[in-house]
């Protein structure tokens, strides 16, 4: 089992996972079942560390849905997608803290709505906000040259 984030990444699988995040996040808000935040957090931790390998949503996307769609593939650079997963991880963690530690359900729902918005952008129109931010972090020299080279060499 490979516990490193993949490079490259199948864009279509990433969009399917984003759709699952959108559905799960909406379900948390609509059902008031905030214990599902722990499943959301686990998924982001797993995907940030190892891509789809340890993530139920990632495995479902890559092993079930991508084959259902005739193994549709569009490869994109991995590091920006990993960065995007880490941002989702932060939102999931802040949601848990705001709900279970600070007991601020309104703040929790605001964080989840923001997460839903960005997951919706990714899943529905294919715009990865984290990837967009990553591009500017590279441009401003805030990402190591080694990672920039991996992304730039892939995108040529």
Q: Enumerate the domain spans of the chain.
A: 9-155
Query: Does the pLDDT value for residue 155 go beyond 70?
Result: no
Q: What pTM did the predictor assign?
A: 0.92
CB neighbourhood size of 27 (10 A): 12
pLDDT, tens digit, for every residue of 18-67? 999 999 999 999 999 999 999 999 999 999 999 999 999 999 999 999 99
Helix H or strand E encompassing 148: helix 145-155
Torsions phi, psi of 76, nearest 5? -130, 165
| Mean of pLDDT values over 133-149 | 86
């Amino acid at each position: 089992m490979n516990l490193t984030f993949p490079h490259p990444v199948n864009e279509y699988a990433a969009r399917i996972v984003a759709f699952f995040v959108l559905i799960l996040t909406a379900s948390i808000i609509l059902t008031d079942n905030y214990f599902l935040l722990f499943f959301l957090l686990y998924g982001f931790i797993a995907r940030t560390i190892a891509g789809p390998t340890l993530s139920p949503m990632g495995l479902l996307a890559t092993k079930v849905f991508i084959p259902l769609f005739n193994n549709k593939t569009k490869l994109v650079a991995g590091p920006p997608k990993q960065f995007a997963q880490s941002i989702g991880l932060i939102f999931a963690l802040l949601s848990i803290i705001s709900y279970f530690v600070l007991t601020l359900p309104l703040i929790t729902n605001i964080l989840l709505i923001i997460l839903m918005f960005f997951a919706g952008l990714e899943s529905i129109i294919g715009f990865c906000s984290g990837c967009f931010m990553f591009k500017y972090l590279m441009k401003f020299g805030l990402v190591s040259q080694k990672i920039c080279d991996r992304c730039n060499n892939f995108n040529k």
